[in-house]
């Protein structure tokens, strides 16, 4: 799947560090809706509009991001930066995607600490969510043409979606998808048994165990260490942060109340960019501007390190038939997980006639007129703010 035709290679465009910075600053400012929406925006921006990367290469990096700890959509951003400009691109892309969200969250946290409540954003979310669903559905259709190109991969996608609906852990689902894809290759080669140990699993790194201990007084060093540990073990999206943060900061350290934790998660949901900026909010509440910076660096640093290590290995994995087949299965599983999340988002976004109309109009505009999703999100945000 990763082999490029001559025309594909010729159509891929180069990108300067300045271009990478500007594009990711824009995405970090408008990327509402969580990881599925972020990935949809990135696919539109990098694959279709700017042609920085092929669909197949984008899917390879999506699969890799799903198999390492940390925020998956942010890690895809880091992977793209690394792919275009090496370690400098890695740092610039990831930082510029995170900084707008972290800044917005810090300002909201400042207002929260000063006034004791969250600003109202219900109207903006009300109008933006149906648009986000339309954007994600469009991206899923584009990605599926490359990622689900055989009947076997279609079966794997359906199986992964079913397992997700039944509540199986996402990492377990991706493992099943990869193993089923491996098994098909083994059968084709008339192998007597499937050797999972022979397949490179370099993306799945040992998790760092969260330490236990009594409550301690607040300190920036301990704040950094706590979020570094959490960023090293959490797979998937920011929604998975909740039990880890509650265990560390509410139950163990006693630095937060349950209400503060819920407010922190709410801020992560109605602000653009990575949901892991929930850590930024918590850091500000506990330690002001310096606490916000320390918490943000701690939670995102493992993702940068893991992408730096695993990124160069993706082409080598593609050259191995067995490993490449595994990656194809993981891609199919990743798209299934994305589809299930989209369905869940749609149930919370399309709640009345108005949101249904917004959703249908968004689908029509995206398919018929090929308008940039950034304009749609901006228009929806303004309309929602004025209406409510």
- Supply the pLDDT for residue 305: 95
pLDDT tens by residue, 76-109: 999 999 999 999 999 999 999 999 999 999 998 9
Contact 257, 250 (CB under 8 A): yes
- Supply the pLDDT for residue 85: 93
In the predicted model, what is the mean pLDDT of residues 380-384? 81
Alpha helix stretches (DSSP H) within the chain: 6-11, 17-30, 35-42, 55-66, 72-115, 122-147, 151-165, 170-188, 220-233, 241-245, 258-270, 278-310, 314-319, 321-349, 353-368, 373-387
Q: Is the pLDDT of residue 260 over 90?
A: no
pLDDT tens by residue, 185-197: 777 664 434 344 4
10 pLDDT tier (thresholds 50, 70, 90): low
Which long-range CB contacts under 8 A does 208-215 form with residues at least 24 apart? 208/232, 208/233, 209/233, 210/244, 210/247, 210/248, 212/252, 213/252, 215/252, 215/253, 215/254
Report the alpha-carbon angle 35-40-46, nearest 5: 115
Longest dimension (CA), the chain: 68
Three-class DSSP category at 366: helix
- Per cent of the chain over pLDDT 70 is 82
- Supply the pLDDT for residue 77: 94
Count CB neighbours of 18 within 10 A.
9
279 pLDDT tier (thresholds 50, 70, 90): very high
Residue 235 main-chain phi, psi, to 5 deg: -100, 145
Count CB neighbours of 365 within 10 A.
17
């Amino acid at each position: 799947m990763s082999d490029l035709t001559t025309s594909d290679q010729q159509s891929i465009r180069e990108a300067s560090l300045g271009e990478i910075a500007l594009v990711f600053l824009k995405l970090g400012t408008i990327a509402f809706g969580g990881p599925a929406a972020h990935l949809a925006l990135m696919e539109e921006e990098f694959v279709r509009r700017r042609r920085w990367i092929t669909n197949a290469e984008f899917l390879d990096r999506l699969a890799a991001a799903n198999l390492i700890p940390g925020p998956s959509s942010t890690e895809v951003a880091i992977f793209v930066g690394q792919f275009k400009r090496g370690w400098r691109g890695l740092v610039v892309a990831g930082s510029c995607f995170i900084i707008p969200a972290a800044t917005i969250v810090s300002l909201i946290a400042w207002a929260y600490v000063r006034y004791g409540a969250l600003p109202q954003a219900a109207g903006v979310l009300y109008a933006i969510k149906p648009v986000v669903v339309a954007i994600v559905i469009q991206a899923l259709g584009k990605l599926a043409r490359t990622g689900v190109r055989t009947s076997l991969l279609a079966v794997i996608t359906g199986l992964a979606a079913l397992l997700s609906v039944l509540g199986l852990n996402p990492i377990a689902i991706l493992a099943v998808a990869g193993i089923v894809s491996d098994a098909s290759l083994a059968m084709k080669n008339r192998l007597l048994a499937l050797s999972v140990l022979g397949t490179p699993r370099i993306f799945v790194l040992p998790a760092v165990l969260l330490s236990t201990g009594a409550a301690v007084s607040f300190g920036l060093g301990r704040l950094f260490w706590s979020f570094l540990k959490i960023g090293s073990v959490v797979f998937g999206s920011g929604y998975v942060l909740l039990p880890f943060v509650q265990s560390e900061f509410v139950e163990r350290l006693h630095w937060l109340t349950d209400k503060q934790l819920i407010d922190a998660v709410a801020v992560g949901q109605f602000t653009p960019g990575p949901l892991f900026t929930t850590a930024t909010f918590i850091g500000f509440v506990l330690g002001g501007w310096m606490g916000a910076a320390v918490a943000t660096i701690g939670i995102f640093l493992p993702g940068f390190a893991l992408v730096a290590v695993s990124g160069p290995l993706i082409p080598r994995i593609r050259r191995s038939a067995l490993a490449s087949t595994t990656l194809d299965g993981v891609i199919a599983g990743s798209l299934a997980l994305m589809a299930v999340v989209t369905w869940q988002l749609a149930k919370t976004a399309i709640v009345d006639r108005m949101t249904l109309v917004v959703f249908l109009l968004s689908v029509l505009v995206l398919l018929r007129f090929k308008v940039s999703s950034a304009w749609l999100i901006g228009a929806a945000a303004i309309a929602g703010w004025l209406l409510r």
